[in-house]
């Protein structure tokens, strides 16, 4: 994957500099206690910062995405190429000139851009970065043996530049702590069915013939937080659990750099279950590319999507952070990146999280705590379920960890207003107090799958009792890849951004989950309970779990 290198040669025209307010936050940056301070970064140490340039025609991009994703539109399925996306959103000439001159005035010339021209990745010394972004102070932090460089204070940029940037990456955001996917192991001791590819195929009605067959289909998982899979684990997993269907035992392409050391449960789970559900389909793994202490792995993955003309059609991502820990400017820009992917026909699936409704403590008041990107209106968010009877394949109920709720930042998109408002009206008497959630926000998840007690092979050892929406998400992703496979055989386009079509199904072709609640705040008002499942859509399991042959049938219509 090549990037376009820029060498700035524009004259610097500023004669006076007026400093603006802070670009992303006017609060001191809070470094979580789990990150131990190591030292102040030396002035000559190199950093890599990412500059998100303001894009053009974002509203037009959103409207075009709506049209190509709405099955009732004559534009449905008429996705754009990366070149067409670039011509739509690339920054104005003025934006490019202003930002380039600003960087050049500080001697910064070692920059890479992307095909859409809306990101710059620049290398500079810490001393230069702190002059460029007054207020920033770079320090090194460590967690679990991993080091990161971040600024402990907010930064500012000149007024001239402020209006041409969305944010600067590599200063503030710290990766969220990885989830303990086996955290429920103690409570599940003793004999249990466990979830394997055969169990999933039985529950969701996939046969041995439901495997991929076309050449132009592919799927991907993206891994962050120093998570890596081992090819030997994948081969052993398929030898143990893949005997009933045609499958592949190797990843076709790794984008980025696979780290050494032990395999991660998260990474092993993602790869093994997207490849056993979306069986016999070419699979890619996006992993931490060329680690640098000042990089943000999730942001780098988003930038890769803006720079690759050929990408897998389905991506599943088990990654998220609390909405309130991120700036609105950052999340809004990431939403635009999601739109750029959707309009190209790419389906992005995110895990809904493993904290139920979450809980944020604000003095004497508590509120639920939504997660991002799960709360983005431009991705398909996947929640989790458990078997009603854990000893055999039965119907499903809510998994109490399944993330879900209502965004505090993004308004409810039109495609879901009818379904969500119906839920709010139907269960009004049993809802948590209105002070706990935003009834007008984007509601999630959109659908769900089993998330409880998976078998995974990691470091050549079969591991039971692995649980979380990190499991359900690649399972749904694999099924969407199989549906894409059948669509391609009929000459139809990829599913792309699924939500507008999913909500128009009104629950058709999914198993409705109507029992159980997920976790909420542990206080007198809600007593540890968040939202509860209900008929049709709900903010715990969405529309429910896939009945694969029925879902294939309704999504094969043009």
- Active site (annotated) includes residue 470: yes
Q: Which of 306, 458, 467, 470 is an active site residue? A: 470
Q: Which of 266, 272, 399, 485 is an active site residue? A: 266
What is the layout of strands, in order, in the sheet containing 4-6? 4-6, 111-113, 119-125, 46-53, 165-169
Q: Which two tokens stand for residue 314?
A: 């389905």
SS3 276: helix
β 119-125/111-113 pair status: antiparallel
Q: Which of 70, 210, 270, 354 is an active site residue? A: 270
Angle at 393 between CA 390 and CA 396, to 5 degrees: 70
Q: Which two tokens stand for residue 73?
A: 């539109």
The burial of 431, by beta-carbon neighbours within 10 Å (0-12 exposed, 13-18 middle, 19 or more buried), is given as middle
Neighbours of 167 (CB within 10 A): 21
**Backbone phi and psi for residue 448, each to the nearest 5 degrees, phi listed first:** -155, 175
Tell me the longest C-alpha to C-alpha distance in the chain. 74
**Backbone phi and psi for residue 162, each to the nearest 5 degrees, phi listed first:** -50, -40
Residues 6+ apart with CB under 8 A from 546: 204, 447, 449, 476, 479, 509, 510, 511
Q: Phi-psi bin for 223: left (phi > 0), alpha (psi -120 to 50), beta?
A: beta
- Active site (annotated) includes residue 270: yes
Terminal Cα-to-Cα distance of the chain (whole angstroms): 34
Q: Which two tokens stand for residue 32?
A: 């979580």
For residue 187, the 8-state DSSP code is: G
Residues 6+ apart with CB under 8 A from 500: 66, 69, 70, 71, 415
Q: How far apart are CA 184 and CA 463, in angstroms?
A: 13
Q: How far apart are CA 514 and CA 534, in angstroms?
A: 4
Active-site residues: which are they?
A: 266, 270, 470
């Amino acid at each position: 994957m090549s990037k376009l290198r820029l060498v700035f040669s524009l004259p610097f025209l500023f004669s006076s500099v007026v400093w603006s307010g802070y670009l992303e936050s006017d609060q001191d940056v809070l470094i979580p206690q789990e990150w131990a301070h190591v030292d102040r970064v030396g002035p000559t140490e190199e950093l890599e910062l990412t500059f998100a340039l303001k894009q053009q025609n974002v509203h037009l991009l959103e409207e075009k995405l709506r049209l190509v994703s709405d099955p009732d539109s004559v534009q449905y399925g008429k996705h754009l190429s990366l070149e067409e996306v670039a011509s739509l959103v690339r920054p104005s000439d003025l934006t490019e000139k202003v930002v380039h001159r600003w960087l050049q005035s500080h001697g910064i010339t070692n920059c890479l851009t992307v095909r859409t021209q809306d990101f710059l990745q620049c290398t500079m010394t810490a001393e230069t970065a702190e002059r460029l972004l007054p207020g920033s102070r770079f320090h090194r932090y460590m967690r679990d043996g991993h080091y990161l460089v971040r600024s402990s204070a907010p930064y500012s940029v000149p007024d001239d530049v402020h209006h041409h940037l969305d944010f600067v990456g590599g200063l503030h955001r710290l990766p969220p702590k990885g989830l303990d996917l086996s955290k429920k192991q103690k409570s599940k001791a003793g004999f249990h069915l466990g979830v394997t590819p055969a169990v999933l195929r039985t529950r969701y009605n996939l046969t041995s013939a439901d495997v991929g067959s076309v050449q132009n289909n592919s799927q991907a998982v993206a891994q962050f937080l120093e998570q890596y899979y081992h090819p030997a684990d994948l081969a052993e997993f398929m030898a143990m659990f893949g005997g009933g269907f045609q499958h592949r035992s190797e990843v076709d392409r790794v984008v980025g750099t696979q780290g050494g050391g032990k395999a991660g449960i998260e990474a092993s789970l993602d790869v093994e279950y997207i490849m056993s559900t979306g069986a016999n389909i070419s699979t890619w793994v996006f992993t931490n590319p060329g680690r640098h202490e000042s990089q943000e792995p999730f942001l780098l993955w988003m930038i890769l999507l803006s720079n690759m003309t050929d990408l897998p059609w389905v991506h599943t991502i088990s990654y998220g952070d609390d909405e309130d820990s991120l700036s609105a400017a950052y999340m809004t820009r990431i939403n635009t990146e999601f739109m750029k992917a959707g309009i190209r026909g790419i389906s992005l699936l995110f895990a809904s999280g493993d904290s139920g409704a979450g809980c944020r403590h604000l003095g004497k008041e508590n509120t639920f705590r939504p997660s991002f990107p799960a709360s983005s209106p431009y991705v398909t968010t996947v929640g989790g379920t458990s078997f009603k009877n854990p000893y055999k394949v039965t119907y499903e109920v809510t998994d109490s960890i399944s993330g879900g709720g209502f965004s505090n930042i993004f308004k409810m998109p039109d495609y879901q207003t009818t379904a969500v408002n119906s839920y709010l009206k139907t269960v009004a008497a049993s809802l948590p107090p209105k002070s706990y959630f935003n009834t007008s926000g984007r509601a999630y998840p959109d659908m769900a799958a089993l998330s409880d007690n998976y078998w995974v092979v990691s470091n050549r050892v079969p591991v039971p009792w692995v649980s979380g929406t990190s499991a359900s998400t690649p399972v749904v992703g694999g099924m969407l890849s199989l549906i894409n496979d059948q669509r391609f055989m009929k000459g139809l386009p990829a599913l792309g951004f699924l939500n507008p079509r999913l909500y128009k199904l009104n629950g058709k072709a999914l198993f409705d989950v109507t029992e159980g609640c997920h976790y909420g705040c542990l206080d007198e008002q809600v007593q540890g309970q968040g939202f509860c499942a209900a008929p049709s859509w709900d903010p715990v399991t969405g529309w429910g779990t896939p009945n694969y042959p029925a879902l294939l049938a309704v999504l094969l219509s043009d």
